[in-house]
Amino acid sequence: MTKKPDLPAWKALAEKEMRGKPLEGLNWETPEGITVKPLYTRDDLEGVEHLDSLPGFAPFVRGPKATMYTGRPWTIRQYAGFSTAEESNNFYRKALAAGQQGVSVAFDLATHRGYDSDHPRVVGDVGKAGVAIDSVEDMKILFDGIPLKDISVSMTMNGAVIPILANFIVAGEEQGCSRAELSGTIQNDILKEFMVRNTYIYPPEPSMRIIADIIEYTSKEMPRFNSISISGYHMQEAGATLVQELAYTLADGREYVRAALAKGMDVDAFAGRLSFFFCIGMNFFMEAAKLRAARLLWARIMQEFGASERSQMLRTHCQTSGVSLQEQDPYNNVVRTAFEAMSAALGGTQSLHTNSFDEAIALPTEFSARIARNTQLILQNETGVTNVVDPLAGSYYVESLTQQLADEAWKLIEEVEALGGMTKAVEAGLPKQRIEEAATAKQAAVDKGDTIIVGVNKFVLETEDDIDILEIDNTAVRKSQIARLEKTRAMRDQKACDAALAKLEEIARSGEGNVLEAAVEAARQRASVGEISDAMEKAWGRHKATPKVVSNVYAGAYDDDPEYNTLVSRLSDFAANLGEKPRVMVAKLGQDGHDRGAKVIASAFGDIGFDVVAGDLFQTPAEAAEAAIREKVHIVGASSLAAGHKTLLPELVEELKKRGAENIIVVAGGVIPRQDYKFLTDHGVSAVFGPGTNVLEAARSVLGLIEGRLTNR
């Protein structure tokens, strides 16, 4: 009889295969600080308490439903919105006809920030990276021919959540769908905006009032509607580790529950309408384990509030990662998205959005969106993944990861509690700083080649072919939006509209009453998104963050790297000859609050030896030009992720010229299609650094530009 092999026997065989090299060399350290071993056994599950849990029962590690996908697959959603309400409506109707099962709306940045399309601050943002919505009239067109009684609608909106939800409610009523019949989700997660995404409007305290009012209103009036989607997605996209994403998302949820309880609500009256939203990146098994750990920890948190077992259930939407998408060799992104989608399914998501392969370059085309949607249809119908509930259950590796992620995340959750909860932690800047440090460390790992990205820092194509992209005529969209806005204002009862806005302001200022209820009446009187936002801003003011830059993270990753030290020495010598450090301002133009790239560049350039000025968020080109002159910078690096580069960057160059500061160099970075590089250079931009650019290469180029400009002046 053959002897059963044991762990010592495996180690002996493994050491033989390694030819004397230590087995520890096979271990892998994740960005979360978790050591992943090459082999997991039953011994690794000692002390893991959730192993005997079953799907549909607390703590829901194996899924919120007993039958999971064997009874009903996850909902296929595609997050989309662009240009006008007419264009987006056409896209949604085609997608629904092709197998999409719900509508997920992306709004433009002007709308996110509570500005109407005719506001002077949003000239380059209208209709870019989402659909422009100014009033009920736009919202009615957006859902024309889409029966809101039958179709679930998810809306990613946080800053201007009150006017957007109010407009949606009124549009539904005028379509013949009562508030009680509306189904879907509004994101309504403002704490993560202060941490990473930055599409906030009001300060933290009144922003929390808005969330509580929405939870109160929807729990009474909209029983089929999810009042909040607590989002970790944007944290991971901003650079958070999976432990940080998990911990800070659940800590946000805990804070929102407390806000609702402070309104006198019963936890079981609203807990069932809380939902979550996670990012799914390329660490395949870790991402699946993260969703399982999230359900485990949320059940623990809700038990603290005395919630019923059903109210302890965490339900989540997921979206594949945008950051994992690469401009270089972009068809590889189809494969990346497919792996991420499979990971989300194995982790037990309730709905899923799959990104299009071209989203690292521009808005998705109908062609790329169809591939993304079909990825889910193939996953549901051809792979057999829906035939078994929680197929990874019992895996030594996955169960161990689930427990490790839960343990590490709980440490961060307790750290937040020690600061007085998530609102206090956000005000102190702790989560934001931790995430920015993680993002900078990740970029350093990619630049050094420690983290391999196919087509970017390994297996790179010699030449890249252009791909077809969707381009929005921002000028035409803005013109059409303004025309409809003017028509709406001309036809409304102005006296009734003014009275409704005054009532909203009074409720916001006094703290008495419900701001969503008042906003619904204002929307019914055809008050615009901007006017509703302004009424609350009069009471609460508009929040402005102070930009901060982390240091010594990028430098620490390079240690004694010769290329890095050569660049540092070259920059130091040039600064000595110049009599000062070369001064760089990193600018964010328009209403794009995604600042991961800008913060990473600012941090890395500072470590290399540049004197870095972090520009304010949401600058107009004129404001950025004024700041550049005031700060006496040599170069302005403008970061663009929202497709406004062809409007905003030429304006910045012109604003500098107007002020006699054409000697200040302008460069651009971010999500900019290669097809647009020549347009930008023809309009005075000296260099363009697209997605995947190595930071050291960018720093060398920027130093060369400054050297050339100062030498020739």
| Tally of helices (H runs) and strands (E runs) in the chain | 28, 16
**C-alpha–C-alpha distance, residues 532 and 520, integer Å:** 10
DSSP 3: P
Q: Are 58 and 66 in contact (CB under 8 A)?
A: no
Cis before 163 (ω within 30): no
The answer to whether 95 touches 369, Cβ cutoff 8 Å, is: yes
Please give the Cα distance from 190 to 204 (Å, whole number). Answer: 8
Task: Give Cα 497 to chain centroid, integer Å.
Answer: 35
DSSP, res 619 = B
Query: Which among 40, 50, 151 is positioned nearest to 406, based on CA atoms?
Result: 50
574 residue type, one letter: F
Catalytic residues: 79, 233-234, 588, 592, 594
Helix (H, G, I), strand (E, B) or coil at 588: strand
- Residue 700 Cα distances to 176, 236, 320, 566, angstroms: 61, 29, 33, 10
Q: Are 168 and 154 in contact (CB under 8 A)?
A: no
Residue reference for tokens 């350093």: 444
Contact between residue 600 and residue 695 where contact means Cβ atoms under 8 Å apart: yes
Q: Closest by alpha carbon to 177, among 224, 229, 219?
A: 224
What is the residue whose two structure tokens read 């969106």? 369
Q: Are 529 and 165 in contact (CB under 8 A)?
A: no
Burial class (CB in 10 A: 0-12, 13-18, 19+), 21: exposed
Q: Rounded to the nearest 10 degrees, how much is the dihedral formed by the CA atoms of 206, 209, 210, 216?
A: -170
Check if the beta carbon of residue 191 is closer than 8 Å to that of residue 422.
yes
SS3 state of residue 529? helix
- In single-letter form, the type of residue at position 482 comes to I
Please count the CA atoms within 13 angstroms of the CA of 136 that sit on its side-chain side: 23
Give the up-direction half-sphere exposure of residue 597: CA atoms within 13 A in the CB hemisphere: 26
CA 7, CA 243: separation in Å to the nearest integer?
30
Tell me the torsion sign for CA atoms 42, 44, 45, 46: positive
| Rounded-to-integer distance, Cα 389 and Cα 69, Å | 7
Q: Which of 656, 650, 609 is nearest to 629 (CA)?
A: 656
Asked if 573 and 584 touch (Cβ cutoff 8 Å), the reply is no
**To the nearest 5 percent, what fractions of the chain are helix, strand and coil?**
55, 10, 35
